[in-house]
Amino acid sequence: MSKQKLEVIGQDAACCPGLSAAPLDEDQAADLAKVFKALGDPVRLRLMSMIASRGEGGEVCVCELTPAFELSQPTISHHLKLLRQAGLIDCERRGTWVYYWVLPGVLGKLAAFLTTQQPAGATA
């Protein structure tokens, strides 16, 4: 089992300007690539969607996530671990169950990064 720890990105607004605001430097690109790599797997993307659909401050039990997939519980746990290491979600064990939630502001920071500014007077 890998002991590699991924760093959480986007701790301040200066970290990740919008995609069209300025070119990313090497470190910013590497940090964002870790997040997008974590989201690049269909299972992890679905897990993230299921957790995020609970809204800000909402949480979901792993017992609700596992039945949605035709995968073993250890495989689901592995995918959840990668989302945690990418700084997208966090969790807490309560008895025999683990509850997951999206870290505050993470989705907003990713959305802000991907948003491009429209020139004045332009329409979509």
| pLDDT tens string 81-100 | 999 999 999 999 999 999 99
Tokens matching residue 90: 């966090």
Q: Which residues contact 62 (CB under 8 A, 6 or more apart)?
A: 73, 76, 77, 80, 97, 98, 99, 100
**Is the dihedral angle over the CA atoms 98, 67, 83, 106 positive or is it negative?**
negative
Report pLDDT digits (tens) over 40-91.
999 999 999 999 998 777 899 999 999 999 999 999 999 999 999 999 999 9
- Domain segments of the chain as ranges: 26-114
User: pTM value?
Assistant: 0.74
**Rounded to whole angstroms, how far apart are CA atoms 101 and 96?**
17
Which pLDDT score is estimated for 120? 56
Mean pLDDT of the chain: 82
Structure tokens at 84: 């945690």
In this structure, which topology does domain 26-114 adopt according to CATH? Arc Repressor Mutant, subunit A (1.10.10)
Please state, in angstroms and rounded to a whole number, the distance separating the CA atoms of residues 15 and 24.
Answer: 9
Comparing CA positions, the residue from 11, 76, 27, 28 lying closest to residue 50 is 76
Provide the pLDDT for residue 41.
96
